[in-house]
Structure 1
Amino acid sequence: MKSLTQIRYGGLFGSLLLVLLSLLAIWHYGLALSIDFTGGTVIEVSMATLASATELQGLLSGQLAQLLTLKAGSEPGSWQLLLPAGAALSDPHQVVALLSQQLGLPVQLLQATVIGPQVGEELYNQGGLALLAASLSIMVYLALRFEWRLALAAIASLLHDTILTLGLLAVLGVKLDLNVIAGMLAVIGYSLNDSIVIADRLREVLKARPNDSIYASTDLAVAATFSRTLITAGTTLFTIGCLLLLGGEALYGFSITLFAGVVTGTWSSVTIASTVQELLGLSPEHYQPPVELIDDLP
C-alpha cells in the first residue's frame, strides 16, 4: 500500500473511534428536544436590551428561573419565552409581569402560542420521516447510479456524518428544533457530494486502468478530486462560519449543525467512502465490459 492508502486507513480508524465517542455522548448526554417537539407555551415579547439570552437567564430567580427559557428572536429587540407543557406558571401576562420585575426592564407582550403535546409529537414524527425519506431516496439513487459496493460506501459515509453531528449537538447541549432538522437534511445532501464525486472519478479510473490495483486506483481518484474538495468545503465553511458568528442565537442550532456536517462530510469522503468499497472487495473487474464468446463459423 502506498502512503495515501495508509493515510486513508488511518483516517478510517480515527473515524470509527469518533463514531464510538459520539454514540457514547448521545447515550450519556441525550438529545435535548425543543418545545417544537415536546409541546409548551411560546410567548413573544419585545424589550430593549443589549444583553444576551444567557446573561438575562442568569438574572432570573425563583419559579421563573426554573421554568422559563429565554431565546433571542429573529429581529433585534424581539425575544421568545419558552415554557414547558403543564408548567404551573403559564399565564402570559403573569409571566411578562414577573420577567419585567426581575430584569428591571419594560417588557411588552406581543403574542402567545400554545403548542400541545400532540402537535409536538406530530412535528417530531414528521421530522423523523423527512430524514428517513431523504436517506431512502439517496440509497435508491446510489444503487442505480453506482456499483453496489460504492453505494454502500457512500451510505456508510452518510451514517458516519449523521452520528458525529448528533454527537456534537449532544455534547454542546443544542436543542433539536425544526431549524436543526432542516440543518440535518442539508447535511444529508451535502455529505454525499464529495463521496459521489470521488466514486464517479474512481469508476472512470477503474475502466481506464484495469491492470492497476484497487488501492492505486482509489488513491488516484482521491488525489484527482482533493483540490476540488478543499475549495468547495472551504468556501462553504466560510459562509456557514459567518452565519455561525453573526447569525445570533436564533440561528445557532442550524448553523452549528451545518458547520459540523460539512466538516465531517469532507473528512468521511476520504476516510470512509474511499475505504469501505475496498473492504467490500471492489476491483477493476467490476467495471469492465463483459467478454462475449463467439463461436467460429465453419
Structure 2
Amino acid sequence: MTLVCLYILVLLTIQTVKAVNLAAGKPATQSSAHRVHTTADKAVDGNADKAYSHGSCSHTNCQDRAPWWMVDLGKVYLIKSVTIAVADSASGRMRNFRIELYNKHPNKGGMAKLCASQGPAALAHGKDRTFTCSRPTRGRFVKISKKFTSHCDALILCEVMVNGEEVVNCPFSFVRHGRSCYFYSEHKAGNWFQARDICRALGADLAIADNKEKVKFFKSALKSLGALGGRIYYLGGHAFSGQAFRWLDSNALSMGVFDDWDKATNPKDPEPNIEDELCFGMHREHYYTWHNIHCSRREQFICEKSPMWPRP
C-alpha cells in the first residue's frame, strides 16, 4: 500500500510540474493600449480574474486596426497549448484571431508557426478557453494577432497561460529519445566514479533507469550495437557503505516501486559490507537486466541529459 501511494505521489508531482504557466511574469508587449492600466503585462501577471473592471486585463486601443499581443518566454520551449482567460465584458471581440509561435523575434527574422486560430464565432465571456496546438511546436515568442472587422474591435486578454516543456539540445554523439538525450560509451572508464565524471564533463550524468519505458529503450539501443557494444554498462545507481541500492537522482522512483534485476541475481549478492562500494549496470549476457558490481571495475557506461536530469 505504501509503495502504491508513493507511486501516485510521484505521478501527481509530475503532473503539477507540467501544469506550470510558462508565460507568467514574462515580458509582454502589444500593438497599443486602450488605457494606462490595460497594458500587455496585465495578461501575464498571474491573475486570471476575468472581471474587466478589476484592472487585470490587457486591452488594445479601439482605433488599432491591426491589434496584436506577444510574450517572450525567455527561451525556446516545446509548446503544447495556450489558454486564454476571456473578460466578462469582451462584447464578442474575442474572435478572428491567430496564435502563432516564433523561435526568434518577428522583427528580427522570426518565422511564424501557427499553433491555433479562432474564426468568426466569439469566445464565451468570462470563461477560460484552451487552444491545443495541432502538434507540439517549438517557440520562444507567443503572439496573438487579431483581424479588425468593426469599430473598437480590440484584443482583450485577462490572462494568457502557455503550457509546454523545456527543449533539450542533445550534445554531439548523444541519441535523443523523448525529452532526453543519451550517450553510450564506446570505451571503458576506469571505474564507476570516473564514468560519472566523464558524463558530467559532457553536461550530463549517469543514466537513471527508474521506469519500464526507459529500460525497454536502453535494452533496444544496446542490443542494436551487437558485437560493437560492451558487456556491462554502468547506470546511475549504487549501494555505498552497506546501504541499500538507490539512484543518484533523489526524485527517481524507488527501486522498490520499479526494478529490473536479473531473476537469477540477488541484489545483495555480493552481500555489501561497510567497506564495499557497489554499483550496478546492465549486463549483456543476461539480456541487459540489472546486475550489481564493484564500482572499481573498468566498464562502459550510459550518460543522460534531460530537463530534469542532471539537477541544476
TM-score (norm: length of structure 1): 0.27
Identify, as 1 or 2, the structure richer in strand: 2
Q: Could you say which structure has the greater relative contact order, defined with CA pairs below 8 angstroms and 6 or more residues apart?
A: 1
Structure with a larger share of its residues in helix: 1
